[in-house]
Chains A and B, each alone.
Chain A
Amino acid sequence: MIRDLNDRLRRVPVPLVWVLGTIPFALLVFDAATNNLGVDPVQTIEHRLGRTAFYLLVAGLAVTPLLRLTGVSLMRFRRAIGVLCFGYAAAHVLSWAVIDMGLLWGQMGRDIVKRPYLLFGMLSFVAIFALGVTSNNLSLRRMGARAWRNLHRLVYPAAVLAGMHWLWAVKVNEMAPLVWTSLIVALLVLRVAIPRTRGRSA
């Protein structure tokens, strides 16, 4: 049955993931155009972009544990998921800088070094940025597989930092950041707990 599913998944074209991945952005544009972003559209845009990036980060981290646990392979789609995550994270940071902070560079710089939630978020984004710009085949060839893989292990600290960024940004212990950050920790633990098996190469 798993083999059957994997066979069918192999026939799904990767560009479909790209198309699906643009839906949250399209919805945001639609809501903005129809004046449906609520009383504070700045915050809505910023938060929706950030949450989407976060969900994609979790999705990308879930690929390997899913394979090891069930044998279902979404490996072909992982790069697209990762690059989409980078896109939403970049849009999130851009929305913070432009529409939230109004490009007050001085205050932005001071805030990043002084505020843990911004520092966590920025460090996470720097890592995601590095992965995003090296996600192409050319970079993989130039860097060599080993160096490339080592660099892309940055996704683990980036994910933890993103969770801390969300947790530190809220005023009380809210459910959403707690649940999603726990999920990230669980996925990382799974990765260690279930070692790679031979025969099912990742």
Chain B
Amino acid sequence: MKLSWSDVTPQWMYLNRRAFMAGSAAALALGGQAQAQALTARPSPLSTDEAPNSFEEITNYNNFYEFGTGKDDPARNAAALTTDPWSVEITGLVERPGRYGVEDLAPENALEERIYRLRCVEAWLMVVPWIGVPLASVLNRAGLRPSAKYVEFETLLRPEEMPGQRRPILDWPYREGLRIDEAMHPLTILATGLYGQAMPNQNGAPIRLVVPWKYGFKSIKSIVRINLREDQPMNTWQQMQPGEYGFYANVNPQVDHPRWSQATHRRIGAGLFAGREPTLMFNGYADQVASLYAGMDLRVNY
């Protein structure tokens, strides 16, 4: 049986390990609405047995450009985001299109804990105890038509609450996509929480994608639309810099980002002199996912 985060780190310890940064939005969120929603999830054999990063690290080191480009901007700015009411519109090549509530997509009794490695394209790594449901269960509920070959996701567009969207640094709203076999893979989840509670705003509340063998930017946050289509969608980063970011974005130590190496990464929380770790093919999930890409040239399909 796999360990749950609470077996690895008792709650009093991760809460007290370090004093929370004064005034951080994470602390605000904890004291406010988010705390009320404790989530229970059953452990999963797909979890890693590596120790997860602390709640403080996971909620204060985020790439969520909708709230600013600094790593601590989301923690500072995301508290204002309204996540209730929320609905996710499922459109395109499905039998039952429509608006679904977060509870419908990820009902409490279906929640699983998935402790996954998260490898950012910027060459750092964290381990996060996500809570969520397989994306496959959501897509099956909507009913895939045979012609559905790709899934496209879209983040909320609400510049009033997302200050980063007031500047055109990316083509808002943020969009991402997966091939249907990637979307249906058991490792791919829609997460609605972490560390036993509802998703903190800065981590992509109320519902986000997690694809652990791909660079973090594929795991789109605060999803409002899931669209099934026949042709390959364009994702935001690929549109911005097609030479640097592709559609697949599989973690691959042999294929470098044009501006930096992907051979190694730093583990967040490892300390000042921990140095770098070698990056693993498909972020360590090669056994489960390498077959999806058999015969493909991953240098071309980066």
Chain A interface (Cβ within 8 Å of chain B)? 32, 35, 38-43, 45, 98-104, 107, 110-111, 114-117, 168-174
Contact = CB atoms under 8 A, between A and B. Distances in A.
A38 B60 contact: yes
Contact of A111 (B122, B260, B273): B260
Nearest to A36: B21
B86 interface: no
Interface of B: 18, 21, 56-57, 60-61, 65, 69, 71-72, 122, 124, 169-170, 240, 256, 259-261, 263-264, 266, 268-269, 272-276
B62 to A, nearest CB: 9
Contact of B259 (A41, A102, A116): A116
Closest 8 pairs between A and B when the two form their complex, measured CB to CB = A102-B275, A39-B61, A172-B169, A102-B276, A39-B57, A39-B60, A174-B69, A115-B259
Nearest to A106: B263
8 contacts: A38-B72, A39-B56, A39-B61, A39-B72, A40-B268, A42-B272, A107-B261, A110-B261
Contacts of B264: 104, 107
Contacts of A114: 256, 261
Contacts of B72: 38-39
Contacts of B65: 172
Contacts of B57: 39
A99 B268 contact: no
Contact of A42 (B261, B263, B266): B266
A103 B122 CA distance: 19
Contacts of B273: 98-99, 102
Nearest to A45: B272
Contacts of A103: 275
A18 B57 CA distance: 36
B177 to A, nearest CB: 19
A101 B169 CA distance: 29
Given A38-B61, A99-B272, A116-B259, A172 B240 contact: yes
Judged by DSSP, the binding face of B is loop
Nearest to B59: A39
Contacts of A43: 71
A43 B65 CA distance: 18
A104 B276 contact: yes
A29 B276 CA distance: 23
Contacts of B256: 114
Nearest to A118: B260
A70 B238 CA distance: 48
A40 B70 CA distance: 12
A107 B222 CA distance: 36
Given A104-B276, A174-B69, A117 B259 contact: yes
A172 B239 CA distance: 12
Nearest to B56: A39
B61 A40 contact: yes
Contacts of A168: 259
A42 B276 CA distance: 11
B242 to A, nearest CB: 14
- Of the listed residues A38, A45, A98, A114, the one surrounded by the most CB atoms of chain B closer than 10 A to its CB is A38
- Of the listed residues A40, A102, A168, the one surrounded by the most CB atoms of chain B closer than 10 A to its CB is A40
A118 to B, nearest CB: 8
Nearest to B241: A171
Contacts of A101: 275-276
B272 A41 contact: yes
Contacts of B169: 172-174
A31 B264 CA distance: 28
B272 A39 contact: no
A39 B261 contact: no
B246 to A, nearest CB: 15
Contacts of A110: 261
A114 B260 CA distance: 8
A11 B122 CA distance: 49
A180 B276 CA distance: 31
Contacts of A100: 266
Contacts of A41: 272
A130 B96 CA distance: 69
Contact of A39 (B122, B268, B275): B268
